[in-house]
């Protein structure tokens, strides 16, 4: 009887230990994805062919933001929605688009992320990934829709300096001809950048670390 009781107590402790470990792991997992990481799904064609609809990504919250990185942002024009875009211009920079080239502070920006799309372009079906209209910050600010995304001081700064407002980032999709991005919804505040994409884990055959 004593041996049976000891075995039951041992089994009970084992089950309790498993439950405690599981609870701790779940707590760590929850905190990790609540404050450090973000699990996101690509929706729409705006980053084709770099990222396709339905792919699943892991991004790092509060990471340093560099030009060329892919970020998850809160959509300024659609509360609750998230967009995936690429950082093109940094706060305070002068950005100019001319003849499908981007110039930052007067220097042409190398855009290797557009290479794959350019190779896939089909003039017969008018499929254009890299087509970018000519613009400056000042010319974009003339559009009526821009007024709803900026404060008056920001609009004054744009019109006077022709630069990206401080504390905001100019983002664009790699599928330029269809992307709704900073050309239409304004630059993105740092607090509205959810995270920097570091991993694509689905589908498995397209697994990639960035």
DSSP 119-163: HH-BTTTTB-SS----EEHHHHHTSGGGGGTS-HHHHHHHHHH-S
SS3 label, residue 202: strand
pTM (two decimals):
0.88
pLDDT tens per residue across span 196-206? 999 999 999 99
Residue 63 to residue 41: CA distance in whole angstroms:
19
Residue 145 to residue 136: CA distance in whole angstroms:
15
The average pLDDT across 45-56 equals 96
Identify the band that residue 173 occupies on the pLDDT scale cut at 50, 70 and 90. Answer: very high
| Angle CA 158–105–168, to nearest 5 | 45
Q: How much is the mean pLDDT over the chain?
A: 89
pLDDT number for residue 103:
98
Identify the band that residue 125 occupies on the pLDDT scale cut at 50, 70 and 90. Answer: low
43 is catalytic: no
The average pLDDT across 59-78 equals 96
The average pLDDT across 34-58 equals 94
Provide the percentage of residues in the chain whose pLDDT is more than 90: 72
Q: How far is CA 140 from its chain centroid?
A: 22
**H or E element, residue 115:** helix 115-120
50 is catalytic: no
Provide the percentage of residues in the chain whose pLDDT is more than 70: 85
Residues in the chain: 210
pLDDT number for residue 208:
97
pLDDT number for residue 10:
67
The answer to whether residues 92 and 163 touch, using CB atoms and an 8 Å cutoff, is yes
Q: Indicate which residue of 85, 97, 128, 179 is catalytic.
A: 85
Q: Indicate which residue of 38, 46, 50, 179 is catalytic.
A: 46
The b/e string for 81-90 (b: 16+ C-beta within 10 A; e otherwise) is ebbbbbbbbb
Residue with tokens 């967009």: 83
Q: For 92-96, 123-127, 185-189, 196-200, which range has the lowest pLDDT when averaged over its residues?
A: 123-127
SS3 label, residue 184: helix
**H or E element, residue 117:** helix 115-120
pLDDT number for residue 4:
57
Query: C-alpha distances in angstroms, 105 versus 18, 41, 89, 94?
Result: 58, 34, 10, 5
């Amino acid at each position: 009887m004593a041996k049976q009781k000891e075995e039951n107590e041992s089994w009970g402790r084992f089950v309790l230990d498993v439950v405690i470990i599981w609870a701790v792991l779940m707590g760590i997992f929850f905190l990790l994805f609540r404050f450090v990481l973000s699990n996101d799904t690509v929706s729409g064609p705006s980053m084709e062919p770099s990222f396709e609809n339905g792919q699943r990504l892991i991004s790092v919250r509060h990471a340093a933001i560099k030009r060329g990185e892919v970020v998850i942002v809160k959509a300024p024009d659609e509360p609750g929605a998230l967009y995936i875009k690429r950082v093109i211009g940094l706060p305070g920079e002068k950005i100019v688009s001319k003849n499908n080239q981007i110039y930052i502070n007067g220097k042409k920006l190398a855009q290797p992320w557009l290479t794959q799309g350019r190779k896939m372009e089909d003039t017969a079906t008018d499929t254009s990934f890299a087509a970018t209209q000519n613009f400056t910050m000042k010319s974009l600010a003339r559009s009526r829709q821009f007024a709803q995304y900026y404060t008056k001081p920001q609009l004054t700064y744009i019109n006077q300096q022709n630069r990206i407002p401080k504390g905001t980032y100019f983002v664009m999709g790699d599928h330029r001809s269809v992307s709704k991005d900073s050309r239409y919804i304004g630059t993105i505040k740092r607090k509205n950048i959810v995270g920097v994409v570091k991993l694509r884990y689905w589908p498995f055959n397209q697994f990639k670390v960035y």
